[in-house]
Amino acid sequence: MLATGGIGWNADLRARLFPPQIAPVSQTPAGNTGDGIAVAEGIGAAVDDGGDSPALWMPCSMLRRPDGSTAIWPHILLDRAKPGLIAVGRDGRRFVNESDSYHDFAMGMIRAGLSEAWLIVDAAFLRRYGLGLMLPGGRGLRRLLKAGYLDRAPDPGTLAARIGVDAAGLAASVAAANRFAAEGVDRDFGRGTSAMNRFNGDGTVAGNPCLGPIGTAPFYALRVVPIDLAGAAGLRITPEALVRDRAGAPIPGLYACGNDAASIFRGTYPGPGTTIGPAMVFGWRIGRHAAGQPLP
């Protein structure tokens, strides 16, 4: 039974299956090098591309530590859904509902052809909610600015020049965000319209808990990139979790589950447990099938 963690850091599988703008960085352990999939391919197993996406993604910010190592912060829900934040690409324009799930946010980046994006906030947001590695109240701000993790400027135009995005585009995005906040309706991406959006927003904000103004100087930007947290692409399997060969026939005695098997959700992310749930179910099915027990 193959259950070695999926694609992970396997350079060949990443080059073949992942979008070209994805950096060679994974949130999986460094020892997860795609061994199970690679071994199975070597004896004729078929690899499925994962459907909608070959992986499940998170937007992450990265800090280079003084010792040369890199800290990776996954932007799960603590900041992106809060009012007073927008995400923009190199053109300074928004590209996604910032309050959606981390996978959907990163898919917005991928569909827009972005290898990087910037989270834009003002001083009031930073004090109240924090941003990435910077905690609410401003703890650690000086250190993170010095390290280049955050960028700061007195106005959006100067901030745009500092991070290399289009100044006119960013100014237009900030102006639109402020109009939407006053109205309580995001007319571009529908931010705050889903139950999940609103739950992860700020319930103390009247109206739309995901929309707020961006206007208190100074202004801040934080670069994020899409990083895989688990594979959706993987070995093709039968309902019994037998690995299929390239002709579609099961390979006798060879099973796969977990991230070594292609996701039954076809590259979508319905919610927490998307990877561990199927791993448990198919592990159980493998045990029964291998023991000659009936399956439901």
CATH class for domain 59-227? alpha beta
List pLDDT tens digits, range 269-291: 998 899 999 999 999 999 999 99
List pLDDT tens digits, range 108-166: 999 999 999 999 999 999 999 999 999 999 888 999 999 999 999 999 999 999 999 99
Predicted TM-score (pTM) of this structure: 0.95
Domain chopping of the chain, boundaries: 11-54+232-290, 59-227
- Give 173-179's long-range contacts (Cβ < 8 A, gap of 24+): 173/86, 173/88, 173/92, 173/93, 173/94, 173/120, 174/86, 174/120, 174/214, 176/94, 177/86, 177/94, 177/211, 177/213, 177/214, 178/213, 178/214, 178/215
